[in-house]
Amino acid sequence: MEFNTAEELLELCRNENKPISAIMRLREIVYGELDAEAVEARMKKSLEIMRNSAHEPLHNVVRSMGGMIGGEASKLEKRREEGKSICGNVLTKALIYSQAVLEVNASMGVIVAAPTAGSAGVVPAVLFALEEEFALSDETVINGLFTAGAIGCLLMKNASVSGAEAGCQAEIGSAAAMASAAAVELMGGTPEQCLDAAAITISNMLGLVCDPIAGLVEMPCQSRNAAGASNAITSAEMALAGIKAAVPFSEMSDAMYRVGKGLPAELRETALGGCAATPTGCSLKCKIFGGCR
């Protein structure tokens, strides 16, 4: 059940007549040397942690370690409850949950890196928004997690999910690609459409730099999780409508990696460029860590 490229994954789906989630389950059983129950139990635990981190900040607001974020999710939730949201139910809920998970992460709470801590809000945001709007079962949502895992596996093998190596496009971009593929399967799409969605997503986020203010995974990381969730939903909708990716997933993965390696060091998680190097970014760093004149 091993696959190293998107093409190999699709071939397995066709030969076995199974969705991506089922192939990923089988891969974990074979190569993880676990039985089916153990694989399922691990993913259920991940789902539980994701659900807690997406919902807890709506009731108990905490400030981040650096003090730059905290309370954004509850503000969005209040606006939604008041009927003022301009984004529609799915997108609004995705925005809320994407912010919440980053609040938990930045306050040293427990989250699931998906694929990284800085991008952890994207996948749960999209899955839980769809779950609530379309009354999906836990089993269906877990299928989405396996599909997301398959896309993450391909990106780790053939590109990168590290902001330090390839910029934020490799973190938020990868997370959004994972989420978009998962969304497509959840909504009845084919494996081909899942990969189209993931490819469209990456193309939309190509070149995104990693420039955390004060070197902390707070801002602009939190707002970019919202952007990643929005991108994932948009790309999934396009793929489900039958819109093909202009460039296939494998080629987009390669392109993302090449672009990332071409970014200067200042734009790869060093906090020496982009938002981090603005006067406000520098001022915030001084406020948090002191020692500035």
Is there a domain that residue 240 lies in? yes
Q: What percent of the chain has pLDDT over 70?
A: 100
Distance in angstroms (rounded) separating the CA atoms of residues 42 and 38: 6
Is there a domain that residue 213 lies in? yes
pLDDT at 182 over 80: yes
Is there a domain that residue 232 lies in? yes
What confidence category does residue 208 fall into, taking pLDDT thresholds of 50, 70 and 90? very high
Is there a domain that residue 82 lies in? yes
For residue 54, give the CATH number of its domain.
1.10.4100
- Domain with 214, as residue range(s), is 6-289
Average pLDDT of the segment spanning 95-117: 98
Q: What is the pLDDT of residues 253-268, one digit of tens each?
A: 999 999 999 999 999 9
- Its pTM stands at 0.97
Cβ contact 98:225 at 8 Å: yes
Is there a domain that residue 1 lies in? no
What confidence category does residue 76 fall into, taking pLDDT thresholds of 50, 70 and 90? very high
Instruction: Report the pLDDT value the prediction gives residue 1, as an integer from 0 to 100.
Output: 77
Is there a domain that residue 239 lies in? yes
Average pLDDT of the segment spanning 228-246: 98
Is there a domain that residue 15 lies in? yes
- Count how many domains the chain has: 1
Cβ neighbour number for residue 136 with a 10 Å cutoff: 17
Query: What residue spans of 17-137 are helical by DSSP H?
Result: 20-31, 36-55, 72-81, 89-106, 122-134
Residue keyed to tokens 């009731």: 59
